[in-house]
Amino acid sequence: MTTNQEIYDRLRDLHNVLVYCTEVDTISFGKNKVFTPGERIVINQERGALFTQLASNNNQIFPHEVRNLKVGPVLELKIRSALNQVNATAWGGHSQDTILK
């Protein structure tokens, strides 16, 4: 079982890389994409699965309703690389409080 804090941290990271990808794409007028549309879909699927885990941890849904999905190892490397870029720049990202509101 994953703790709520681990889930919140992962949600923050996934949210930040998606927003970062969108900003890079916008600034470059579509020439530089961090993730393909399919990769963005898979990232969002993991985010949805994490929300079901939170709901289960908070007794809002039954355990059999929890979706367990994680991105594959290649996409995980791209996510880590994007997080490194976020952390290395002044971009900063969003906090857990902003994401869950």
| Structural domain spans, the chain | 4-99
Instruction: Give CA–CA dist 53/61, Å, rounded.
Output: 9
pLDDT digits (tens, 9 = 90+) for 42-87: 999 999 999 999 999 999 999 999 999 999 999 999 999 999 988 8
- pLDDT over 90 for what percent of the chain? 65
Contact 91, 20 (CB under 8 A): yes
* 5, amino acid identity: Q
Q: Tokens for 55, please give them.
A: 């709901």
Q: Quick one: pLDDT band at residue 33, thresholds 50, 70, 90?
A: confident
Tokens read off for 4: 């709520």
